[in-house]
Structure 1
Amino acid sequence: MIQFLMNGRIHTENLPADTTVLQYLRRDAGRCGTKEGCASGDCGACTVVLAEPQGDALSYRTVNACLTFMPAVHGKQLITVEDLKHRGELHHVQQAMVDNHASQCGFCTPGFVMSLFALEKQQQSFSVAQTQHALSGNLCRCTGYRPIMDAAKAICDAPQPDQFDADARLTLDKLRAISATGEPVSIDELADRYFAQPDARLVAGGTDLALEVTQRYQRLPELISLSHIPELKVITLTGQTIHIGAAASLSDCMPVLYDEFPEFGELLERFASQQIRNQGTFGGNIANGSPIGDGGPVLLALGASLLLRRGAEQRELPLDKFFLGYRKTALQPGEFIEQIRIPRNSGVARQLRIYKVSKRLEDDISAVCAALHIEVQKGVVIHARVAFGGMAEVAKRAISCEAQLLGQPWQTATIERACQALELDYTPISDFRASREYRMQVAKNLLRRCHIEMTSPETLMRVTHYV
């Protein structure tokens, strides 16, 4: 039984667990303002906003309705484009789109409106960079982005209170009155449930799992939602380690990782879109065992480990022992990822370099993703962990390459030997993203780029640093 707030009223629904929010809105609720475009989280036409209590206020976040299963909205306010109109008048976000001629065919417009609505709730003043990130998951094929950015500037430069602000206290009271769902609400409950039902699928953000429903038209009859387990969303820092709960959203991880590893934070800005980052998790990114998940190579290079749980038993496993083959991991039946543990960089002169090569700068899948964690003292490499995604059936460390770097002078001749060693570490394949020859050449060139960046920091090597 799912309970959520929509249009000021508590809705109680008994739906199959694999029902997406988009299916519910268009098929069951008759709310067709939310559009169906790609059904894969790439176009943003189906963007809706979820509001939930955060202390004594409400937190507003965009999500892709096509990739969000209905259990994820339990205990939250579901806001669609139909909710914005108030007392016969357009919401000021909608009016700004009209005033700035920011809509032509109009198909993408509801998604843009919802992203701008959430942006205004989160942002105090207009910022080009933050607005671009907020809209990076919304595609427009006819209007062009300049008038949409003009609308965003008008909204953020002159924010206005609306009906959601006026009803915030009442909304909080209604949401807090919603009873617990039948899903586990503690990590112990999850461990017991999953141990008893090891064939069930765990779903946190569901941004990858939902594709089995929307793209492959499969049914997922047994799902266990992780959306209501606070312990799995906690991010803590100890003196030596960052502990990330497996169900913590990538958006929540970003500020912590930015502070500790700025390169990691920059990568996450290119990790899918804002809507996906608001839902997606490192736990899911790792557990699905994909060879092109961007989290894998970076966490491998940083020497991360996983805290795993099966029933009452826990074990810690280095990440480089976790990936066994294509979408095959070391997880036992009924075992799940509880935490991702990343060694901190405090007081260590190690440099992290991350490179993502894809057809688009943002909201795209990598052809090659490289992560290099290097420490050089007195001209000699004393620490080297190198990992690549997109080069093998799993995200994988370049052991032969690392061996050519360790203990050697940090110079061109060493780099060239390390480049040749990559051919011992990887046998990439050709697919629609890149040929195997291209992937190997790119991997070698990224190693060379890392050397140039570290030895000649004044040389600008990335287009995002000077455009």
Structure 2
Amino acid sequence: MDIQSPLKIIQFIRGGELVSLANVPPSRTLLEVLREDLGLTGTKEGCGEGDCGACTVVLGQAEGGRMSYRAVNSCIKLAHSLDGQALWTVEDLVAADGSLHPAQEAMVQCHGSQCGFCTPGFVMSLFGMYQNYIAPTLPTACGSLPPEGAAAPADWQSQIRGPGLKGAGALAPKTNPITRELAQQDLSGNLCRCTGYRPILDAAQQMASLPPVKLDEASLLSKLELLAPTSHGLKTDLSYQAPRSLAALLEARAAHPEAQLVAGCTDVGLWVTKMHRQFDQVLDITQVQELRHVEHYPHHIAIGAAVTLSEAFAALVADRPQLQTFAARFAGLPVRNAGTLGGNVANGSPIGDSMPLLIALGASVVLMSVRAGQQVSREMPLEQLYTGYRKNLMAADEVLAWIKVPKPMLGEMLKVYKISKRYDDDISAVCLAVNLHVEDGKVVKTSIGAGGVAATPVRALQTEAALTGQPWALQTVQQAISILRAEFSPISDMRASGAYRSEVLGNLLQRFWLESQGLQQINLESFVLEEAA
């Protein structure tokens, strides 16, 4: 293979300038490139598995004519997936005159840093929050704003006068868009080993009151548009491909079934960092335009395999608001911003949290391939996809393209419970999703998905049968609890013992019953984080 091939070049925008990197191995992570190749050592390596957030960076992409910003973990993100995007590291936030960005200044003012190792990651998550929540509230055109990346002068509030800007603070948001609860959710992927969260949460809310910094998004969009043609079509160098169309993806999969298929790499990245695996060929689905959307139909939604977990859960929550807390707990925000629902399902981990929920919702998966020049698809209930531990029915030339989720039905009672050692940003010991339809006091339809209790995500068919057709009453639930505890034989591991898992399954079904009777003060969802005084 010609290692000088220009097809191996990664191009992205950093600090408003084009960066080109050649001869980057397909398994090299973004963190390795930043620290070892570019000398950007502000980004730290903590856990190497997307858990602590010390390596957080922010990516920018053009979506619908606007910029979107996502905080992601660079330690498990493959460097080639950065191609065609914009990147910010902690080194990029300070203005040319040395002024700190509000994300940095707020941390200083609120004394948000202790040992300091995790601080760059927190700052980048704050920067992502600033771009997503505060920057949109600033005027889109104003001569008083500082240039891109520069902070306003210290007396900016008193200086701003002009048409439509009435007095001091005219550029500040009328109300702080970052609540305490939002700050806690968006910082859930960053861990402070010194347990200094209160001042960091203070800093998140302090940013809105500081002199504004607004990026020149028009310039960014034009530069990203110039990069786009370099990534179109398939590369003749097959070490790393990111096709832009479904047809190109299926053709590449048919030609190279041995290539490692990746999406957000939130799991495959661990194979690189923890198991030291190397891949000769990588096929990245995240740029396939047809699979980057959620499509809405009268009776279901279709979630493309390249839709991020953040976007996928937003679509699910739109139809079922009761899923909001579970969606926020699925993982830390950087993981949800990078990982995809399709990747989570195709990976098939028995402790993957999306599958029990999707099973309870009656979701199906669409597998696609190209054979004899024709696109072929087949659909099946999600729980039928799995044949064993991390094994499934997909042929070597197939890809999981869509996840179809039925719309809510009248009378649906749905709850999903996640039990983990840590409330935020942790893997489940047990996950249980219960979906009941009750009419005239009788259970007419039941669907229950469970995770962490078998070699695959499973459907609790025996428990469903015990509930269906029975009155929705305490005696029915008590019988179903016994059946659910006996239906599976979970293993004991570092997260929980098998006996604990069996006991918890029954307890969660009892909680579902109690909540259906109006009792709400029995879980952390009822706890509201108060605003700072």
One-letter amino acid of the structure 1 residue matched with residue 220 of structure 2: T
> Partner of 2:148 in structure 1?
none
> Partner of 2:11 in structure 1?
3
| Paired residues for 1:45-444 under 5 Å | 45-89=54-98, 90-124=100-134, 125-142=177-194, 144-158=196-210, 160-162=212-214, 165=215, 167-178=216-227, 179-181=229-231, 182=235, 183-311=242-370, 312-346=375-409, 348-444=410-506
CA distance in 1, matches of 2:17, 2:464: 59
Provide closer, same or farther for how the CA distance between residues 159 and 272 of structure 1 changes in structure 2, counting only shifts above 3 A.
farther
> Partner of 2:149 in structure 1?
none
One-letter amino acid of the structure 2 residue matched with residue 139 of structure 1: L
Query: 1:452: Cα distance to partner?
Result: 1.3
Give the number of the structure whose alpha-carbon radius of gyration is greater. 2
One-letter amino acid of the structure 2 residue matched with residue 460 of structure 1: Q
Overall identity of the aligned pairs, in %? 43
Listed as ranges, the gaps of 5+ residues in structure 1 are none
Query: 1:143: Cα distance to partner?
Result: 6.1
In the alignment, structure 1 residue 462 sits paired with structure 2 residue 512: no
Query: 1:56: Cα distance to partner?
Result: 3.3
Pick which of 256-265 and 360-369 moved more: 256-265
CA distance in 2, matches of 1:204, 1:462: 34
CA distance in 2, matches of 1:156, 1:275: 22
Residues 102 and 213, structure 2, Cα contact 8 Å, conserved in 1? no
Residues 102 and 143, structure 1, Cα contact 8 Å, conserved in 2? no
Query: 1:423: Cα distance to partner?
Result: 4.5
CA distance in 1, matches of 2:97, 2:49: 34
Query: 1:318: Cα distance to partner?
Result: 1.2
Query: 1:266: Cα distance to partner?
Result: 2.2
- Deviations along 1:148-180, one digit per CA (max 9) or x if unpaired, are 122111102446024xx1x32222111110133
Residues 102 and 210, structure 2, Cα contact 8 Å, conserved in 1? no
Provide closer, same or farther for how the CA distance between residues 86 and 158 of structure 1 changes in structure 2, counting only shifts above 3 A.
closer
CA distance in 2, matches of 1:206, 1:293: 14
One-letter amino acid of the structure 1 residue matched with residue 288 of structure 2: I
Normalising by structure 2, what TM-score?
0.84
- Deviations along 1:402-422, one digit per CA (max 9) or x if unpaired, are 111111111122112212222
Query: 1:241: Cα distance to partner?
Result: 0.5
One-letter amino acid of the structure 2 residue matched with residue 365 of structure 1: I
One-letter amino acid of the structure 2 residue matched with residue 366 of structure 1: S
Pick which of 381-390 and 255-264 moved more: 255-264
Ranges of 4+ aligned residues in structure 1 off by more than 4 Å: none
One-letter amino acid of the structure 1 residue matched with residue 523 of structure 2: R
> Partner of 2:166 in structure 1?
none
SS of the aligned residue for 2:230 comes to coil
CA distance in 2, matches of 1:58, 1:462: 38
> Partner of 2:3 in structure 1?
none
In the alignment, structure 1 residue 41 sits paired with structure 2 residue 103: no
CA distance in 1, matches of 2:527, 2:107: 31
How many equivalent pairs are there? 462
Pick which of 70-79 and 185-194 moved more: 70-79
